[in-house]
Amino acid sequence: MDLGLKGKAVIVTGAGSNIGRAITLGFAREGASITLADIDEQQAQAVAALALAAGAAAAETVRCDVTKLDEVQAMFARTVARCGTVDVLVNNVGWDELKFFTQTTPEFWQKIIQVNFVGVLNCTYTALGIMAPKQQGAIVSISSDASRQGEPREAVYGAMKAGVNSFMKTIAKENGRNGIRCNVVCPGVTIPEESEAVGVNSMWVNKDSMFTADQLAQIAKALPLKKVGRPEDVAGAVLFLASNTVAGHVTGQVLSVSGGYSMIG
């Protein structure tokens, strides 16, 4: 099915690793013109080369720290200069370390808050300024099923992702009149399949520090689908929500892509 994304100007934050990489390559196969925003330029450039080989109309990398509004605005300005607009924003950047709350510090909280929530505010704020006058656009934010269930060792991270869910629903209500659709995808445990799929700043750079092989097997066993997620699983949901062709009447939704871990009606 043609998703109608060919030639669309798409920004993916955190585009170089794991889920962001898979999302970027998914848009590439649809022929989109992609801006890969990442703090890891080398990793993003490697993914941009793969995106061009996969069929992207264009793939430009921009070093961007989403916690800094001036860098976000400069990144969007480069995209507009190249493409004339921004049709789709994917707020993908996220970061965490698995720790019980009593093991964390205020400095750790602030990093979690800045990366996982303030970055979404900065990018969404800037995107709306471009999309609203044109009366069109789609924003998809990557959250987490930790925001819906509550997860040990992810207290602050889960709280920030819950904030993303609520924020995006509000933005959807405020901006539907401007032709802008806003939705959220909540992955469960999603494992990169190869070392090349993660950069040096990724939370998955050392998978064993996140989950042991035995823990992953136990997670899979507990899920209705009996398997942990792969980046491509999340990318498919993002492409669906970004497409006006198949999801043109979908906004304000929070979709779990977690093998059935979260089933919220």
Question: Rounded to a whole number, what is the distance in angstroms from the first to the last CA of the chain?
Answer: 28
Angle at alpha carbon of residue 192, lines to 219 and 41, rounded to 5°: 145
* Distance from C-alpha of 165 to C-alpha of 186, rounded to nearest angstrom: 9
Q: For residue 137, give the nearest of 164, 169, 172 by alpha carbon.
A: 172
Q: Is 157 a catalytic residue?
A: yes
Quick one: tokens of 137? 């656009």
Of 97, 131, 132, which is closest to residue 116 (Cα–Cα)?
A: 97
Tell me which H or E stretch contains 35.
strand 33-38
Instruction: Please report which helix (H) or strand (E) contains residue 247, including its range.
Output: helix 244-247
What does the buried/exposed string (b/e) look like for 21-53 if buried means 16 or more CB atoms within 10 Å of the residue's CB? bbbbbbbbebbbbbbbbbbbbebbbbbbebbee
The values of phi and psi at residue 185, to 5°, are -115, 130
Q: Which helix (H) or strand (E) holds 167?
A: helix 155-175
User: Is residue 155 a contact partner of residue 238, using CB atoms and an 8 Å limit?
Assistant: no
Give me the catalytic one of 27, 76, 157, 204. Answer: 157
Measured in whole angstroms, the distance separating CA 112 from the mean position of its chain's CA atoms is 15
Q: Indicate which residues carry an active-site annotation.
A: 157
